[in-house]
Amino acid sequence: MEKHRSAFLEYTRSFFSGDPEKDRYMQLKVDHTFRVCSHAAMLTAEENELRAPAVGRALSLAALYHDVGRFEQLKRWNTFSDAQSCNHGLLGASVLKKQGFLDNEDREVRHRTIAAVALHNRFALPAALRGDLLRIVAAVRDADKVDILRILAEQLGPGSAADNTMLMHLKDAPGICSPAILKALREKRVARYMDMRTLDDFRLLLCTWLFDLRFNASLRAIRENGCFISILDGFTGAPDVKAEAAAVVENRLNAPSSTLPA
């Protein structure tokens, strides 16, 4: 993996421009990547179904390269919003092929890694996805979410200085939540980015991410890092909605995760 880490770092270094404002976001994505790698390694160690060596190899590579498309996205469009630019998962898959980062891997590992990068940011996974590829994709998505939740908890906590790019250019409109986001929370399903209008929408949407997590070790990591305490503390809307969101989080964090289809 050391060679891949060096290749990733060399590739990303080429996007640093000397403009501290832009470079800060590039660095943020590099740091995020290595934390996602650590989360993925933790999942491999703790979840039996990820232990097969071929699964572990593709998962490590997919974790390292999952956001490789972010650098081109940020350079060209200056945003992390896919809706306002491009699908960064698909862009990442094409960067992987173009750069030949996986040329020395065996065919199956290469195929699984590219598929996992392309699918890591999909709203929902294709129903036909099964077996090891499903496990790998689900694990990358879990590892990614665990770290994003921790980063965004700092941005969305009470009194934090909001970063417009990280918060997807959403309005700080205290007390206003979109009905579609609330509906998703009440129906215990993942809410859509396109329905978000305000920072409180983002806080509620993050609560619904818990329904997409597949591994118990991910739920445990989230319980331990306490990110939802901060996210919910920052909520500015009605106290009953806040209590409802807190109950959803509490229930989900304390219930065992759903198991994957074989």
Rule CB under 5 A: which residues touch Fe ion?
67, 121
Let me know how long the chain is: 262
Closest distance of CB 70 from Fe ion, Å? 6
Is 11 or 173 the residue whose CB approaches Fe ion more closely?
Answer: 11
Is 135 or 141 the residue whose CB approaches Fe ion more closely?
Answer: 141
DSSP category for residue 105: S
Is 67 or 147 the residue whose CB approaches Fe ion more closely?
Answer: 67
Closest distance of CB 66 from Fe ion, Å? 6
Closest distance of CB 141 from Fe ion, Å? 9
Tokens 């350079």 appear where?
75
Residue 198 main-chain phi, psi, to 5 deg:
-125, 170
For residue 103, what are the contacts with CB-CB under 8 A and spacing of at least 6? 110
Burial 147-183 (b: 16+ CB within 10 A, else e): bbbbbbbebbbeeeeeeebbbbebeeeeeebbeebbe
Residue nearest to Fe ion (CB): 67
Closest distance of CB 194 from Fe ion, Å? 17
Give, in degrees to the nearest 5, the angle at Cα 111 between 142 and 6.
75
Is 143 or 191 the residue whose CB approaches Fe ion more closely?
Answer: 143
